Structure 1
C-alpha cells in the first residue's frame, strides 16, 4: 500500500516526511508543483491525458482528496483542462500559462534535500540488496519477477510507480534485516514524495534493471545484485528527480 500524505483542509503542511531545511508546503501545493514541473520539463506533453484521479493519488502517494483539489486548482489556473463525456478526463493544456509554471518550481532547499535523500537511499538500497541475495526465498523471488512483468505491462507512470514501490519494498523484506527494513521503507517513502510523472517509455527502460536484479538474486550473486542496485538508483534519480535536483542531475559522491 502506498503511503499517503493526508490533507483534508488544504492548509495542512506535509509532516509525513519532515526534512531539515526543506520548505513547508501543503500537500496540495506539493502535488501542484510535481505536475507543473513535469510539464515544464516536457515530461508531460500538451494535450496528454493524465491518469484518473484515483490513479494520480496512488502514483503521487497522496490522498484522493489531495489529488482532486490539486487538479482542480491547476484547472482553475489553465495548466490542465477537464473534459466531460466519452473520452473525457484531465489533460495538459495546449498552452499552459508560463507564469504559473514558473511559480511551480522547487526551492534550493528542496533541491538540496532531495540530493541528500538520494544519497541515503543509495546506501540503504545496496545494504538490503546484499542481504536479499543471501536470504530471499523462492516465493519472494517469484513475486519479484511477477512485479517486473507488471511494470513492463504498465501503461502510465502511475501504474508503474505503484508496482515499482511494491518491488523495492519486497527486495528490502527479502533481506531479513528486521527493524532496518522499516528504516529503509521510511527513506523510500520520503524520496517518493518527490517523484514526478515521467514518460512510460523511460520507466519501461529502467525496468530492465529490475529484471537484472532478480536474475542476480536468483543466482545468489550478491556483488552483481548490489552493482545493479547502485546503478539503478544513481542513474534513475539523475533523470527522474532532475527538476528537483537543480536541473543538472544528482551527482553521488
Structure 2
C-alpha cells in the first residue's frame, strides 16, 4: 500500500519545470538560488519530494554543476533542502518549509519589522538602484584625489577580508563611500537611509558564502571602473551587483 502524502503533488515534468529554465545574466549563483527557492516555496516540487538529478537540473538551468551545488548547499543550510547520500539519495525538499520571517504574523527573536510587504521591498530596491547606480556613475566621472583613491581601494580590501560577522558592516561602508565620492553631500544621507532599510531585509535572510565571494568580485569591478574613470562601466557593474542582492531578497522574502 502506498503512503498518502498530506501535501498535493504537482504534475510530474510539467509544473516542476516552470521556473527551472535557463539562468541568464551574470548573477548565476543568485538567480539559481532564486529559481530553486521559488520552485520550492510555490510547491512546484512538493515537500519531501526529490529534485531532478544534479546533471539534469544543471542542464535545465544552464549553470555549472559547481554553481548548482553551491546553491543547493546554501539552501540546505537555510533549511529548504535536504541532501541525502546512498542508493536512494539525492536532494529533497524539506518536509517543513521555512517561513519568510519578514512576512510572519508573529515575530521571531531578533526579527526587525516582520510586517514588511512585497511592495515595500520593491520600493527599497528600486530606490537603491536609482541612487547607487547613479552614485557609481558620478564617482567614476570625477577626478579623484590620491587620498580618495587610496581610501576607496582600502575599503574594497576590508570587504574582501571581512569575516561573516562583520561583512555587512564593511559592505555598507564601501557602498556609502562610493556615494561620498559622487561629490554630492546631499546624496550620502539618502544612501544611508536606504542602506538601513536594505539591512533590515538582509538580516531576515541567510548570509550565503558563495554570494559574499561573488559580491566581492563585483565590488572589485565597480571600484576598478571608478578608479579608471569609466562611468558607464561603473554604473553597469553596480546595476549587476544590486540585481544579485535583489534576486536573493525577492527569492527569500516575496
Alignment TM-score, normalising by the size of structure 2: 0.54
Query: Could you tell me which residue of structure 2 aligns to residue 159 of structure 1?
Result: 166
Q: CA deviation at 1:41?
A: 5.0
Give yes or no for the alignment of 1:134 onto 2:141. Answer: yes
| Corresponding residue for residue 81 of structure 1 | none
Q: Which runs of 5+ in 2 are unaligned?
A: 1-73, 81-93, 105-114
Query: Is the partner of 1:203 in helix, strand or coil?
Result: helix
Structural mapping, 1:1-253, within 5 Å: 41-44=75-78, 98=96, 101-102=98-99, 104=101, 106=103, 110-135=117-142, 136-156=144-164, 158-195=165-202, 196-244=205-253, 246=254
- Contact persistence 2:102–2:116 (CA under 8 A): no
Cα 1:109–1:182 change in 2 (3 A) is closer
- Secondary structure at the aligned position of 1:198 is classed as coil
Distance 1:185 1:137, change over 3 A: farther
Q: 1:104 to 1:145 in 2, by over 3 A?
A: same
Q: Distance in 2 between matches of 1:149 and 1:118?
A: 26
Distance 1:180 1:102 in 2: 36
Deviation of 1:148 (Å) = 2.2
Deviations 1:95-143 (A, max 9, x none): x9959x5484526852221112101100101111121112343322222
Q: Contact between 2:156 and 2:219, CA under 8 Å: does it hold in 1?
A: yes
Q: What runs of 5+ residues in structure 1 fail to find an aligned partner?
A: 1-39, 47-95, 247-253
Shift in alpha-carbon separation, 1:239–1:179, aligned structure 2, 3 A = same
Partner Cα separation in structure 2 for residue 236 and residue 220 of structure 1: 25
Rg larger in structure: 2
The size of the alignment, in residue pairs, is 157
CA contact (8 A) 1:132 1:171 kept: yes
**Separation in 1, partners of 2:168, 2:77:** 15
Give me the whole-angstrom Cα distance separating, in 1, the residues matched to 2:218 and 2:183. 22
Alignment TM-score, normalising by the size of structure 1: 0.54
CA distance in 2 between partners of 1:147 and 1:114 (Å): 27
SS in 2 for 1:243: helix
In 1: Cα distance, 2:249 partner to 2:77 partner: 10
C-alpha distance in structure 1 between counterparts of 2:208 and 2:100, whole Å? 23
Deviations 1:173-211 (A, max 9, x none): 111112122122212221221113312232111111110
RMSD: 3.1
